[in-house]
């Protein structure tokens, strides 16, 4: 596996691959990898001749007081994991490489970033779309693979690619979960054993919501009440949001028609966890 830290060098390699007629699949990550990331890489391996993964903890998507400096990092461990997943090139730039002095251009997607994490993390999606647009220009992929765990991020990137005519197929992959249902996340390492056990209730609450929908309930308020009740049984859990939104526009809805998503963000102590589940007629 090649490890590249310079944007220019990555662009040169990507151009070389393209000239050889090779297709490129790309999986951007912030590292501290787990099975969720590896599943995206396996999919990428299947979809293209060449697989590039990036590891970059992107400062512009963290707000003041968020966990940028303490975000878990272990590059040596990550290199071993991604090599096992069949990655050909790992792009690991420094923050100064991506945001050199004088940097002043940002990409902003409007409507789909306004609800949910757009409210609790102002500027977050601006940082995400800016870095992903830059990574796309550096890695020059034919397709890029993202997790549905970050559902609003996936929708936002699809919108950016469409609006800016980026010639890249964006693929969303299902959330990989621990055996008790907790969505895998690099941030789960922040949880102490007691909170880690309690965290499984997030997915249980979403499953309950989905069950009510399957039984015919279409009132968002009724479903949300039950989802919140299950989360709040844990006295230590502080709900940031629990919403039911249109699965495409991410606007809140009262009556579920077509495809919807239940999206949750919960703080367990200092750790903020997100998860979601799709509701659609079978």
Rounded distance between C-alpha atoms, residue 41 and residue 97, angstroms: 24
End-to-end CA distance of the chain: 43
CB closer to ligand AMP, 45 vs 149: 149
In the list 146, 190, 203, 213, the residue contacting ligand AMP (rule: CB under 6 A) is 146
CB of 141 to ligand AMP, least distance (A): 13
Q: Which of residues 183-242 bind ligand AMP (CB under 6 A)?
A: 183-186
Q: Residues with Cβ < 8 Å from 64, sequence gap 6 or more?
A: none
* Annotated catalytic residue within 37, 124, 142, 248: 37
**Does 141 sit near ligand AMP (CB under 6 A)?**
no
Rounded distance between C-alpha atoms, residue 273 and residue 147, angstroms: 15
CB closer to ligand AMP, 117 vs 253: 117
Rounded distance between C-alpha atoms, residue 60 and residue 58, angstroms: 6
Count of residues making up the chain: 282
Say whether 37 is catalytic. Answer: yes
Q: Which of residues 61-100 bind ligand AMP (CB under 6 A)?
A: none
CB of 41 to ligand AMP, least distance (A): 9
Rounded distance between C-alpha atoms, residue 233 and residue 228, angstroms: 9
> What are the residues facing 183 on neighbouring strands?
177
CB of 39 to ligand AMP, least distance (A): 6
In the list 13, 124, 140, 149, the residue contacting ligand AMP (rule: CB under 6 A) is 149
CB closer to ligand AMP, 4 vs 173: 173
State how beta strands 89-91 and 260-268 pair: unpaired
CB closer to ligand AMP, 27 vs 231: 27
In the list 54, 130, 175, 276, the residue contacting ligand AMP (rule: CB under 6 A) is 175
**Does 124 sit near ligand AMP (CB under 6 A)?**
no
Q: Cα-flanking dihedrals φ and ψ of residue 250, to 5°?
A: 65, 20
**Does 29 sit near ligand AMP (CB under 6 A)?**
yes
Q: Are 234 and 201 in contact (CB under 8 A)?
A: yes
Q: What is the DSSP string of 63-82?
A: PTTSSTTTS---HHHHHHHH
Site residues (vs ligand AMP, CB under 6 A)? 29-30, 36-37, 39-40, 146-147, 149-150, 173, 175-176, 183-186
Instruction: Please list the active-site residues.
Output: 37
């Amino acid at each position: 596996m090649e490890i590249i830290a310079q944007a220019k060098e990555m662009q040169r390699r990507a151009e070389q691959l393209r000239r050889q007629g090779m297709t490129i699949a790309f999986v951007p990550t912030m590292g501290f990898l787990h099975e969720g990331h590896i599943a995206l890489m396996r999919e990428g391996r299947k979809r293209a001749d060449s697989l590039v993964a990036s590891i970059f903890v992107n400062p512009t998507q963290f707000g003041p007081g968020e966990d940028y400096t303490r975000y878990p990092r272990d590059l040596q461990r990550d290199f071993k994991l991604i090599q096992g997943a069949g990655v050909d090139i790992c792009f690991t730039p420094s923050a100064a490489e991506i945001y050199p002095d004088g940097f002043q251009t940002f990409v902003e997607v409007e409507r789909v970033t306004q609800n949910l994490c757009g409210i609790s993390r102002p500027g977050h999606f601006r940082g995400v779309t800016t870095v992903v647009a830059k990574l796309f220009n550096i890695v020059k992929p034919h397709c890029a693979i993202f997790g549905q765990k970050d559902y609003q991020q996936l929708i936002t990137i699809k919108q950016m690619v469409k609006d800016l005519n980026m010639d890249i197929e964006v693929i969303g992959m299902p959330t990989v979960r621990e055996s008790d249902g907790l969505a895998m996340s690099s941030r789960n390492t922040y949880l102490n054993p007691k909170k880690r056990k309690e965290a499984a209730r997030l997915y249980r609450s979403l499953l309950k919501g989905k069950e009510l929908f399957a039984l015919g309930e279409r009132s968002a308020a009724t479903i949300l009440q039950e989802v919140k009740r299950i989360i709040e049984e844990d006295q230590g859990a502080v709900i940031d949001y629990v919403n039911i939104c249109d699965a495409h526009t991410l606007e809140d809805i009262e009556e579920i028609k077509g495809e919807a998503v239940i999206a949750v963000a919960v703080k367990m102590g200092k750790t903020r966890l997100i998860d979601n589940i799709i509701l659609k007629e079978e």
